[in-house]
Chains A and B, each alone.
Chain A
Amino acid sequence: MTGLTFELLCMQLLTGIALGSIYALLALGLCLIFGMLNVVNFAHGAFFMVGAFMGVYFLGVTGNFWFSLILTPLATGVLGLVTERFLVRPLYGRGIDYPLLLTFGLSYVLIEAMRVTFGIEGLPSVTPDGLKGTLDVGIGFFPKYRLFLIAATTVIIFAVWFFIQKTRYGLIIKAGAADQEIVKVLGVDIAKVWLMVFGLGCAIAGLSGILASPTRSVNPEMGIPILAESFVVTVVGGMGSPVGAVVAGLLVGVVYSMASLFFPDLAELSIFVLMAVVLLIRPQGLFGKAGAMG
C-alpha cells in the first residue's frame, strides 16, 4: 500500500484501541454474568442499546452529560435487577439453554419497547461540549471524545477490578463462582449475590451504551451487531475470564482497525478469523480455563 507512514499506523492503532475499549467494557459485563451465574446473557446488546437511549434521554432532561453518565447505569442496573429477580431466577438449575432463550426473547422485547417509546428512527446523539473536536496527539489529530472514551473505560475497568479483587463483596463473588455450596454454608445469601452481579453486569452494559452513543447513531437495533462482536471477544478471551475479556476486547479492536487499513472489505471478517485462529491454538480462549462451558 502506498502512503503507509508511521503516523498512519499509530493513528490506526489508537483508533483500534478506542474501538476495543467499548468491546472490552461490554465483554467484561457479559463475562461477569457468565462467570458467576453461568448465564449467557443474550440481552446484553439490548441493555447496551437501552443505555444509549437513556443516556440521550437523561441528557435531554438534565442537560448534563456527567449526570446522565451516572443516571444511566443506575437505570439499566435496576432493570437488570428486575430481570434477574423475576425472569432469570426461576430458570436456574435448568441448564444453560433456558436463560439463553429467555434473554434472547427479552432483547426483542427491549428493542420493541424502545421503538414504541422513542420511534423507529432513533435519536440524534450528542457529544458533550467540552469533548467536541480533535486534539493533536503528536502523530496527528484525534477526536477528543475517543480519547476520553479510552480514559473512561480504563477507569471503569480498574474500578471493577478493584471491586472484585480488593473488597469483601468481591471476595464473596469470587468465592461464589468457585464453590457456591461452601459460600452458602458460610451463611452468605447466594441469591442476593447473583442478583447484584446480574445488576452490575447490566449497569456496565448500559454504561458502555451511553459512552458509545456520541460516536454512533442511537437506534433500536444498535445492540445487535455489537452483541456478536462482544461474544467474539468473550470467546477469544476465554469464557468467564474478566482479564481475558479486557485483553481480547482491545485485541479485537486493534485487529479490526488494522484489517480496515490493509483489507477494508475484509474488516468484518478479520475478527472472526482471529477467533478461529485462537480457538485452534487454545480452544479455551486466551485466558480461559478448560471446560468453562461446564
Chain B
Amino acid sequence: MKQKVTNQTRRKMLIGGAAAASTPLWMNVASAQSETIKIGFPTPLTGPFSAEAQDQVKAAELAIKEFNDAGGFNGRKAELLVRDDKLNPGEAATRTLELIEKDKVNFVVGSLSAATQLSINAVCKERKVLFNSISQSDAINEAKDWSVYTFHEALNPTMTAGAVARYSIPRFGKKIVFLTADYAYGHEMVRAFERAGKEMGATTLADIRHPLGASDYSAFLPRIKALNPDILVLCNFGRDLVNAAKQCTDFGLKSSMKIVTPVLLYTARLAGGPEAFEGIIGGTSYYWGLEDRIPTAKTFNDAFRKMYNGSVPSDYGALGYAGVKTVLAAVKNAKSTDTNKVITALENLKYDFYKGPEYYRKCDHQAVQTVIIVESKSKNMKDKYDVFNILTIEPTTEKNMRSCAELGHKA
C-alpha cells in the first residue's frame, strides 16, 4: 500500500515537474490573472425562507456584475457559486465544505437563519475561510462562536429589537407581552427588547412561546387580550409573522394594543397583504423607499430595477448585495485575494453602498449601521412595492450594541 502511494506521488511529481519546465513563465502569470474570484453563497433556496433567499441571490448577482463591469481586480472577474442549504444546518455545513474543498472558493457570503449561519461559520472558522454572514444572529458575534474570519453584515437582534423598543415604549406604553417563536432567534429578540426596555422602566407581563412554524395562533390570543398589554411584540419571522399578524388583526387586538415586531420583513408584508399588517411597526435593515433621502439607495435600487424588470430589492436582498460588495471592495483595497489581507482591508473599510455610511466594528466584525423603523401602510399606496412608511432612522452608533467585553472579546 505504502509502496503504491509513493509510486503515485513520484509519478505526479514527474508530470508536474515536466509541465512546469515546459510552461513559459508568462503563461503562469496569465492563468493566475484569468482565474476568477469565487464567492461561495449558501442560502435556503427551498423552504419557508425561500422568497428572501432568492432575493439575496438576485442582489448578490448584481454586486458581482458591477464588480466585473468595472473591470474586476486586475482583470480578474468575480463569480458567485450559489448552493441551496435547505435551511438545514447539516446541509449548510456540507455545502460549505464542498464549496471550500471542491470548488476552492476564496470567500463565503450568505445564509439566512440563525442556525445555518452558525454552522457555516463553524466550517469557515475551522478552514480559515472568510465568511460574511447576511442573516441576523446575536450568537455569531459572541466570542464563543466568533473568529477573526467571521464578518456580520446583517443587523443583529440586539440592534433591531433594541431600536424597536426605543421607538415604541415611550410612545405606546410600558406593559409588554411577547408572542415568541420558540427557538434561539426568537429568544434573542425577546432578550434584546427587554434589555432596551429595562432602561425605560418597561415590564414584561408574559412571554408566550409557540412552536416554530405554527400556522394558527388564535389559541394564544384570548389570553393576550385578557392580559391587556400596551404593546404586543411578535418575536417571529417569515410566515410565522404573517399568520400571527393576520390572526391578531382578526381577533381585534389592534384596538386595545400596539403591535410591533423587531423585524418587519418586506417579503412577509407582501405575502400577508396590507390588511393583516395595517399599523404594525417594526425594524428593518433596508427599505427601498430610503431612496428619497439616501443617494446610494437610489443608485442601488435603479441598478436592481434595471437588472430585474423594474422590481425593487427587499431588505434581505439588499444584504446579499452588501455582503458580496464589501468583500470585493476589500479585495481591491488589499490588492490581493489573500484572506488575511482581505480581513485587514474589511476592518478598515468605510463604505456607503446602499443605506448610508457603515463600517465593521473591529472587535467582533459587526457592521455598524442604521436601523430603520417602518410602519406598514394600508392606504394611499402608489403601487405594489409601496408598503411601508419610514417613521425614523436610528443613527449609526456602537452605543446601542452590546459591548465587546459583554460579548466576551478581550480587547
Central interface residue in B211, B239, B270, B271, by most chain A CB within 10 Å: B271
Interface size class of A (residues with CB under 8 A): 35 or more
* Also in contact, A145 and B250, with CB within 8 A (given A261-B223, A264-B210, A265-B211): yes
Residues of B contacting A125 with CB < 8 Å?
A: 246, 273
**Does A11 belong to the interface (CB within 8 Å)?**
yes
Given A146-B250, A264-B209, A267-B210; A216-B220 close (CB under 8 Å): no
Given contacts A217-B271, A219-B239, A225-B215, contact A264 B250 (CB under 8 A): no
Size category of the B interface is: 35 or more
Please tell me if the beta carbons of B220 and A264 are within 8 angstroms of each other in the complex: yes
Least Cβ–Cβ distance between A14 and chain B, in angstroms? 8
What distance in Å separates the Cβ of B98 from its nearest Cβ neighbour in chain A?
24
**Cβ-based interface call for A122 (8 A):** yes
Q: Are B227 and A3 in contact (CB under 8 A)?
A: yes
Complex Cα gap A41–B214 (Å):
23
Per-residue CB contact flags for chain B residues 211-227 toward chain A (1 = under 8 Å, else 0) read 10111101111110111
CB distance from A21 to the nearest CB of B (A): 12
> Within the complex, what minimum Cβ distance (angstroms) separates B16 from chain A?
48
Please give, as numbers and ranges, the residues of chain B lying within 8 Å of A15 by CB-CB distance: 218-219, 221-222
Chain B 226-264, CB-CB to A under 8 Å as 1, else 0, gives 110000000000010011001100111000000000000
Chain A nearest CB from B215 CB (Å) reads 5
Report A10-28 residues with CB < 8 Å from chain B CB. 11-12, 15-16, 18-19
| B370 within 8 Å of A (CB atoms) | no
Contact in complex: A216, B215 (CB < 8 Å):
yes
Give the interface segment out of B29-37, B48-56, B301-309.
B48-56
Q: Is B208 an interface residue (CB 8 A)?
A: yes
Q: Say whether B226 contacts A8, CB under 8 Å.
A: yes
Stretch of A69-77, A133-141, A178-186 with 4 or more beta carbons under 8 angstroms from chain B: A133-141
Query: Knowing A122-B271, A217-B242, A222-B215 touch, does A8 contact B222 (C-beta < 8 A)?
Result: yes
The CA-CA distance from A222 to B271 in the complex, in Å, is 13
Residues in B with CB closer than 8 Å to A260 are: 210, 219-220, 223
Which residues of chain A come closer than 8 Å to B242, judged between CB atoms?
A: 217
Does A215 lie within 8 Å of B273, measured CB to CB? no
Point out the residues of chain A lying under 8 angstroms from B79, CB to CB: none
CA distance A8 to B210 in the complex (A): 19
Task: Give, as a whole number of angstroms, the nearest-CB distance from B253 to chain A.
Answer: 10
Instruction: Spell out B's residues near A (CB within 8 Å).
Output: 48, 50-51, 54, 182, 208-211, 213-216, 218-223, 225-227, 239, 242-243, 246-247, 250-252, 267, 270-273, 275-276
Q: Which 10 A-B pairs have the closest CB atoms?
A: A124-B273, A260-B219, A11-B222, A134-B252, A257-B219, A143-B250, A121-B51, A217-B242, A268-B211, A265-B209
